[in-house]
Amino acid sequence: MEALNPTRIKVFGVGGGGCNAVNRMYLDGIEGVELFAINTDVQHISSLSVPNKIQIGEKVTRGLGAGAKPEVGEQAALEDADKIKEILRNTDMLFLAVGLGGGTGTGAAPVIAEIAKDMGILTVAVVTKPFNFEGPRRAQVANEGLERLRDLVDTYIVVNNQRLVELADRNFSIREAFRMVDDVLSKAVRGITSIIVTPALINVDFADVR
Protein backbone atom coordinates (compact mmCIF):
# COMPACT_ATOMS: atom_id res chain seq x y z
CA MET A 1 0.00 0.00 0.00
CA GLU A 2 1.50 3.30 -1.12
CA ALA A 3 1.52 6.39 1.06
CA LEU A 4 -1.03 9.02 0.02
CA ASN A 5 1.57 11.79 0.19
CA PRO A 6 5.00 10.22 -0.24
CA THR A 7 7.93 12.37 0.79
CA ARG A 8 9.71 13.68 -2.28
CA ILE A 9 13.42 13.11 -1.69
CA LYS A 10 16.20 14.00 -4.11
CA VAL A 11 19.90 13.24 -3.90
CA PHE A 12 22.34 15.50 -5.72
CA GLY A 13 25.85 14.23 -6.26
CA VAL A 14 27.85 17.42 -6.82
CA GLY A 15 31.31 17.30 -8.40
CA GLY A 16 33.35 14.24 -9.26
CA GLY A 17 33.30 12.54 -5.86
CA GLY A 18 29.63 13.25 -5.26
CA CYS A 19 28.68 12.00 -8.72
CA ASN A 20 30.58 8.76 -8.14
CA ALA A 21 28.71 8.26 -4.86
CA VAL A 22 25.33 8.88 -6.49
CA ASN A 23 26.24 6.48 -9.28
CA ARG A 24 27.00 3.87 -6.61
CA MET A 25 23.59 4.52 -5.02
CA TYR A 26 21.95 3.97 -8.41
CA LEU A 27 23.83 0.71 -8.99
CA ASP A 28 22.94 -0.39 -5.44
CA GLY A 29 19.26 0.10 -6.28
CA ILE A 30 18.42 2.70 -3.61
CA GLU A 31 14.64 3.21 -3.48
CA GLY A 32 12.32 6.10 -2.74
CA VAL A 33 14.63 8.87 -3.97
CA GLU A 34 15.51 10.61 -7.23
CA LEU A 35 19.23 10.67 -8.02
CA PHE A 36 21.04 13.42 -9.93
CA ALA A 37 24.69 13.64 -10.98
CA ILE A 38 25.72 17.31 -11.23
CA ASN A 39 29.12 18.28 -12.57
CA THR A 40 31.01 20.71 -14.77
CA ASP A 41 32.97 17.84 -16.36
CA VAL A 42 30.67 16.55 -19.10
CA GLN A 43 32.99 13.66 -19.95
CA HIS A 44 32.81 12.38 -16.38
CA ILE A 45 29.02 12.49 -16.03
CA SER A 46 28.64 10.90 -19.48
CA SER A 47 30.51 7.85 -18.17
CA LEU A 48 28.05 7.27 -15.31
CA SER A 49 25.09 4.86 -15.26
CA VAL A 50 22.73 7.11 -13.27
CA PRO A 51 20.12 8.47 -15.75
CA ASN A 52 19.77 12.06 -14.46
CA LYS A 53 22.95 13.83 -15.55
CA ILE A 54 23.08 17.61 -15.14
CA GLN A 55 25.91 19.67 -16.62
CA ILE A 56 26.47 23.05 -15.00
CA GLY A 57 28.69 25.96 -15.97
CA GLU A 58 29.02 25.22 -19.67
CA LYS A 59 29.98 28.84 -20.38
CA VAL A 60 32.37 29.02 -17.43
CA THR A 61 34.20 25.71 -17.95
CA ARG A 62 33.30 24.74 -21.55
CA GLY A 63 32.42 21.26 -20.39
CA LEU A 64 35.67 20.68 -18.52
CA GLY A 65 36.18 20.40 -14.76
CA ALA A 66 36.64 23.35 -12.42
CA GLY A 67 40.40 22.81 -12.15
CA ALA A 68 40.25 22.29 -8.36
CA LYS A 69 39.13 25.93 -8.02
CA PRO A 70 36.00 26.32 -5.86
CA GLU A 71 35.41 29.81 -7.23
CA VAL A 72 34.92 28.24 -10.68
CA GLY A 73 32.50 25.66 -9.24
CA GLU A 74 30.59 28.47 -7.56
CA GLN A 75 30.31 30.42 -10.81
CA ALA A 76 29.18 27.27 -12.63
CA ALA A 77 26.31 26.76 -10.18
CA LEU A 78 25.33 30.42 -10.32
CA GLU A 79 25.28 30.23 -14.12
CA ASP A 80 22.69 27.45 -13.94
CA ALA A 81 20.81 28.56 -10.82
CA ASP A 82 17.50 28.59 -12.70
CA LYS A 83 18.07 25.02 -13.90
CA ILE A 84 18.80 23.93 -10.33
CA LYS A 85 15.66 25.67 -9.03
CA GLU A 86 13.56 23.88 -11.64
CA ILE A 87 14.93 20.47 -10.62
CA LEU A 88 14.28 21.30 -6.96
CA ARG A 89 10.61 22.11 -7.52
CA ASN A 90 8.29 19.74 -5.63
CA THR A 91 11.07 18.55 -3.33
CA ASP A 92 10.60 17.97 0.41
CA MET A 93 14.11 16.81 1.30
CA LEU A 94 17.47 17.15 -0.42
CA PHE A 95 20.68 15.25 0.16
CA LEU A 96 23.92 16.76 -1.13
CA ALA A 97 26.67 14.18 -1.63
CA VAL A 98 29.95 16.04 -2.02
CA GLY A 99 33.62 15.16 -2.06
CA LEU A 100 35.12 18.31 -0.53
CA GLY A 101 38.51 19.53 -1.69
CA GLY A 102 37.90 19.79 -5.43
CA GLY A 103 36.54 22.68 -7.44
CA THR A 104 33.02 21.80 -8.55
CA GLY A 105 31.73 20.06 -5.43
CA THR A 106 33.30 22.48 -2.96
CA GLY A 107 32.22 25.57 -4.89
CA ALA A 108 28.81 24.53 -6.24
CA ALA A 109 27.37 22.73 -3.20
CA PRO A 110 26.94 25.90 -1.07
CA VAL A 111 25.17 27.63 -3.97
CA ILE A 112 22.78 24.69 -4.36
CA ALA A 113 22.26 24.51 -0.59
CA GLU A 114 21.36 28.19 -0.46
CA ILE A 115 18.85 27.78 -3.29
CA ALA A 116 17.27 24.84 -1.45
CA LYS A 117 17.20 26.81 1.80
CA ASP A 118 15.41 29.70 0.11
CA MET A 119 12.86 27.21 -1.25
CA GLY A 120 12.21 25.81 2.24
CA ILE A 121 13.65 22.37 1.47
CA LEU A 122 15.09 20.30 4.32
CA THR A 123 18.71 19.80 3.27
CA VAL A 124 21.27 17.29 4.51
CA ALA A 125 24.88 17.37 3.30
CA VAL A 126 26.85 14.12 3.32
CA VAL A 127 30.44 15.12 2.59
CA THR A 128 33.91 13.63 2.55
CA LYS A 129 37.25 15.11 3.56
CA PRO A 130 40.27 14.15 1.43
CA PHE A 131 42.82 11.40 1.96
CA ASN A 132 46.25 12.49 3.23
CA PHE A 133 47.85 11.55 -0.08
CA GLU A 134 45.72 14.20 -1.82
CA GLY A 135 47.86 16.88 -0.18
CA PRO A 136 47.52 19.81 2.26
CA ARG A 137 46.11 22.22 -0.32
CA ARG A 138 43.11 19.97 -0.99
CA ALA A 139 42.59 19.52 2.76
CA GLN A 140 42.56 23.29 3.24
CA VAL A 141 40.05 23.76 0.42
CA ALA A 142 37.85 21.07 1.99
CA ASN A 143 37.91 22.74 5.41
CA GLU A 144 37.03 26.12 3.95
CA GLY A 145 34.25 24.54 1.89
CA LEU A 146 32.76 22.83 4.93
CA GLU A 147 32.81 26.09 6.89
CA ARG A 148 30.73 27.70 4.18
CA LEU A 149 28.38 24.77 3.59
CA ARG A 150 27.56 24.01 7.23
CA ASP A 151 25.67 27.29 7.69
CA LEU A 152 23.46 26.66 4.65
CA VAL A 153 22.18 23.15 5.42
CA ASP A 154 19.92 21.81 8.16
CA THR A 155 22.42 19.15 9.13
CA TYR A 156 25.55 17.53 7.77
CA ILE A 157 27.53 14.31 8.03
CA VAL A 158 31.30 14.36 7.51
CA VAL A 159 33.17 11.25 6.39
CA ASN A 160 36.93 11.54 6.95
CA ASN A 161 38.39 9.47 4.11
CA GLN A 162 41.76 9.01 5.79
CA ARG A 163 40.23 7.86 9.07
CA LEU A 164 37.99 5.44 7.18
CA VAL A 165 40.97 3.71 5.60
CA GLU A 166 42.87 3.65 8.90
CA LEU A 167 39.94 1.96 10.63
CA ALA A 168 39.72 -0.70 7.92
CA ASP A 169 42.33 -3.22 9.00
CA ARG A 170 44.05 -3.82 5.67
CA ASN A 171 45.91 -2.10 2.85
CA PHE A 172 43.93 -0.56 0.02
CA SER A 173 44.77 0.47 -3.50
CA ILE A 174 43.74 4.04 -4.33
CA ARG A 175 40.87 2.71 -6.47
CA GLU A 176 39.65 0.48 -3.62
CA ALA A 177 39.88 3.35 -1.14
CA PHE A 178 37.68 5.63 -3.23
CA ARG A 179 35.24 2.78 -3.88
CA MET A 180 34.92 2.24 -0.12
CA VAL A 181 34.13 5.94 0.35
CA ASP A 182 31.39 5.71 -2.31
CA ASP A 183 29.96 2.73 -0.43
CA VAL A 184 29.94 4.59 2.90
CA LEU A 185 28.18 7.61 1.37
CA SER A 186 25.63 5.34 -0.30
CA LYS A 187 24.89 3.54 2.97
CA ALA A 188 24.61 6.83 4.89
CA VAL A 189 21.99 8.22 2.52
CA ARG A 190 20.18 4.88 2.26
CA GLY A 191 20.10 4.57 6.06
CA ILE A 192 18.41 7.94 6.55
CA THR A 193 15.99 7.70 3.63
CA SER A 194 14.88 4.18 4.51
CA ILE A 195 13.61 5.46 7.87
CA ILE A 196 11.31 7.84 5.98
CA VAL A 197 10.21 5.83 2.93
CA THR A 198 9.99 2.26 4.31
CA PRO A 199 6.83 1.27 6.25
CA ALA A 200 7.70 0.11 9.75
CA LEU A 201 6.02 -1.09 12.93
CA ILE A 202 6.99 2.20 14.56
CA ASN A 203 6.22 4.78 11.93
CA VAL A 204 8.60 7.71 11.45
CA ASP A 205 7.25 10.18 8.94
CA PHE A 206 8.80 13.20 7.30
CA ALA A 207 7.24 15.61 9.82
CA ASP A 208 9.11 13.83 12.63
CA VAL A 209 12.41 14.13 10.77
CA ARG A 210 11.85 17.77 9.98
Q: What is the pLDDT, as a whole number, of residue 65? A: 86
Give SS3 for 37: strand
Task: Give this prediction's pTM.
Answer: 0.89
pLDDT at 2 over 70: no
Per-residue pLDDT of 29-45, as tens digits, reads 998 899 999 999 999 99
Picking from 147, 150, 96, the residue whose alpha carbon sits closest to that of residue 124 is: 96
Q: Which domains does the chain have, with CATH numbers?
A: 9-209 (3.40.50.1440)
Q: Which residue has the higher pLDDT, 194 or 197?
A: 194
Least confident of 121-125, 170-174, 191-195, 203-207: 203-207
Average pLDDT, the chain: 89
